[in-house]
Amino acid sequence: MPASPTLHVRPVAAELREAVLRLHVRPDQDGFVSPPARTLADAERCPGSQPMAILLDDMVVGYYRIERSARSLAGYDAEAEALGLRSFQLDAAWQGRGLGARALDALLTDLAQRHPQARRIVLTVNCNNTAALALYRRAGFADSGTLYHGGRSGPQHLLWRHLP
């Protein structure tokens, strides 16, 4: 029986770039997240931002970026040891298979190695984004109780999680 594909995360290096730029979410999710085609170049230019690819074996299936300071998120007044998670997404073709949870696991494991000093990770998520909210809560994220009103598609919850 063939081994099930391994999910892992890697910085977006030159050889992954084209595949990352092709990623897209469902049209009804466009208001929840910006596609790499619109934001990757910015993430690459920004010294505090690390664009990351989510891979199943060698196939790119998703994307996110880690902000070295959560202060760049929604004007969040975070402590210095808090990282920010932005643009977490799976390609439309790969959603609904439990890969979101596996990707979050891999992301958190990777952070422990890449940013051992970090204590928390913070993100914002649209209040209507039921699938992402369910996923983050299951992965141990807590609601800060703060609503961020500056998003382009309506209010967002500010969630956070301790890092191991």
* By the rule CB under 6 A, 38 interacts with ligand COA: no
Residue from 131, 142, 154, 162 binding ligand COA (CB under 6 A)? 131
∠ at Cα 109 (108, 115), nearest 5°? 80
Nearest to 38 by CA among 55, 22, 19, 14: 22
Q: By the 8 A CB rule, do 72 and 48 touch?
A: yes
* By the rule CB under 6 A, 55 interacts with ligand COA: no
Residue from 22, 38, 119, 138 binding ligand COA (CB under 6 A)? 138
* By the rule CB under 6 A, 135 interacts with ligand COA: yes
Helix residue spans in the chain (DSSP H): 14-21, 36-45, 99-114, 130-138
Site for ligand COA in 105-124 (CB under 6 A): 123
Cβ neighbours around 85 below 10 Å, total: 26
Taking CB under 6 A as the binding criterion, the range among 43-51, 73-81, 93-101, 147-155 that sits at the site for ligand COA is 93-101
Residue from 51, 100, 107, 111 binding ligand COA (CB under 6 A)? 100
Rounded to whole angstroms, how far apart are CA atoms 106 and 56?
11
* By the rule CB under 6 A, 35 interacts with ligand COA: no
Bridge partners, residue 67, by sequence: 49, 84
Taking CB under 6 A as the binding criterion, the range among 15-23, 86-94, 113-121, 145-153 that sits at the site for ligand COA is 86-94
* By the rule CB under 6 A, 140 interacts with ligand COA: no
Rounded to whole angstroms, how far apart are CA atoms 25 and 95?
9
Please report, as ranges, the residues that interact with ligand COA according to CB under 6 A.
25, 29, 32-33, 88-90, 95-96, 98-100, 123, 125, 129-132, 134-135, 138
